[in-house]
A and B are shown apart, each in its own frame.
Chain A
């Protein structure tokens, strides 16, 4: 056993798992409030990362300013996307809704490749110090930042949904749209808000991963990796998304370790979560925290 490598990998798993959790939360947010499964979640990360990169390199803005501009852009983007594309889809069968988001993801991915190219572009240097030591392990500063940001986002979500007026309105809409509407909540605004928040928070995750690994279209794959996480946690549970994200993050790094040490089959890092996904769907389709869908005739 190689304990150093294992602990290093598990630490990475925890950090990337937190990011999966954050993206999963955005995914669950959209699913819960608008009943739409967003297959274009990964493209939100990609768009956020590319836009931020563009602000930082072409316009040479300082990081904080560029980052805030990106968040503003993503807010507008999320609202417009909901208004133009997703609003006509309300009440359509589930396959249509899924396919619209898949079509969107194809469209965004191709257009981003066209605009920004297919090569990995490194972010300009954000931190002076590349790595920090933590209990004898070397961790990239950006990873520490991502952990802090993820935790901050999670706490922010908790505060938003527990206490703020808009958060309560969103929870009411998720619970029952008609009742919420009759209590004077504008369901339209709630939907737009859900997409905007989801786009913004995903973009934050995209920028963080972009700083560590550079920006390229592989970032969009996170949007697919998030499925095992949210299914494991339960599709309509925000806590579940976080727990599921962390478990999947740890699992894929552990799979890589086990693969490197014993099995030597390769590519386990990418594929292990999908095996887990199939097994969960067979045994416990509603996940750890999801509400069980009981059908009555």
Chain B
């Protein structure tokens, strides 16, 4: 879980500011800035030359909006210790809300996305109400019910979602400038991603963030210390839905079409899979887990293509079954991670860093 860092020998923190800083060392700050710059230049193409193929750009956009939603779920599950099996429904609600506000009231997409996030937050608080009374397993089942209730609502509310026909979303427009193509939309997603990740990282340094962690670690002691349990449990539902809503809205305006069927239980499970694989209670882990979860099916698709292209491997069972294999591998990777690496990729990443810091002498 979160909370412990590998500190280098001789590195002492003497003030609270130093202890809660986002970047523990100047080097890590430089690396983060370098990473953002690399993300900025990655989709550029100059003349004939481009760093990334079109397909890689679509994958990166997918990682972008999914990771925002996964980060929200991580605030709820990893930091506050509440379980939600209905995250996909909130993701979907954000998608529909943004498209609806844009189509119905003519609110520009640029404003509709954050507004959709706030609307989803309200819905999340409503469905988080049971969390005031129940916890753990019972809460998991209550959120499972909210997943089905919202899914049913999507299928029924023609005025909101367009019913079974789905709803069309306009493309992104920033003060008259229409964003066209994946390479331009990439920057919109990147902008939101940076904003949301900084927000989340800062939230965890604030009083509210510490209250979340206290509720997770021992809710009775937290209450004794004067933390309003009900308020923070419901609030964390709200914040997690806000992130989900913004992720969903970005998804809607990327595909420009939202269908009712895409926000099912499987997607909810995938979201939880992302944060478990990435590492519960780690902001960076949400991103790592999303990357894993998005790339895994693509790698499998590629692998199946390679096998099918060989002479002996062209078996219909492999070429047709690859979709089922993807689901199987998602399920299997969740199980294997929980058994063998419950702290997720974020922990592995820390271990690797610690190893190289002291290379070649291990102490």
A contact set with B: CB distance below 8 Å: 37, 85, 88-89, 92, 94-96, 98-100, 102-111, 113-114, 224, 227-228, 231, 235, 265-267, 270-271, 274-275, 277-278, 281-282, 285, 295, 297
Contacts and interface: CB of A to CB of B under 8 A. Distances in A.
B276 A99 contact: yes
Interface residues of B, number: 45
Interface stretch (B102-110, B145-153, B228-236, B239-247): B145-153
B155 A267 contact: yes
A108 B273 CA distance: 16
A277 B144 CA distance: 10
Interface string B325-360: 111101111110011001000000000000000000
B324 interface: yes
A102 B272 contact: yes
A110 B148 contact: no
Interface of B: 77, 81, 83, 85, 129-130, 133-134, 136-138, 140-142, 144-146, 148-149, 152, 155-156, 220, 266, 269, 272-273, 276, 280, 317, 321, 324-328, 330-335, 338-339, 342
Given A99-B276, A107-B335, A114 B83 contact: no
A106 B134 contact: no
B269 A110 contact: no
Main secondary structure of the interface of B (DSSP, over half): helix
A277 B266 contact: no
Contacts of A227: 141, 144-145
A144 B280 CA distance: 49
B133 A285 contact: yes
Contacts of A270: 148, 152
Given A227-B141, A281-B142, A107 B332 contact: yes
Contact of B156 (A98, A103, A106, A266): A266
Contacts of B333: 103
A103 B148 contact: no
Contacts of B335: 85, 100, 103-104, 107
Contact of B142 (A98, A265, A277, A295): A277
A184 to B, nearest CB: 30
Contacts of A295: 220
9 contacts: A88-B339, A100-B335, A113-B327, A114-B324, A114-B325, A235-B138, A266-B156, A275-B145, A278-B145
Nearest to A85: B335
B331 A98 contact: no
B273 A277 contact: no
A231 B317 CA distance: 41
Contacts of B134: 281, 285
Contact of A103 (B137, B138, B149, B273): B273
Contacts of A106: 266, 269, 327-328, 330-331, 334
Given A278-B130, A281-B142, A285-B134, A94 B342 contact: no
Nearest to A275: B149
B334 A102 contact: yes
A107 B321 CA distance: 13
Contacts of B334: 99-100, 102-103, 106
Contact of B146 (A94, A103, A278, A282): A278
B338 A99 contact: yes
Contact of B220 (A98, A104, A297): A297
Question: What are the 8 tightest A-B residue pairs by CB atom distance, in nearest-first order?
Answer: A106-B331, A107-B331, A103-B334, A110-B327, A114-B324, A103-B335, A274-B145, A110-B328
A110 B130 contact: no
A174 B342 CA distance: 27
A11 to B, nearest CB: 26
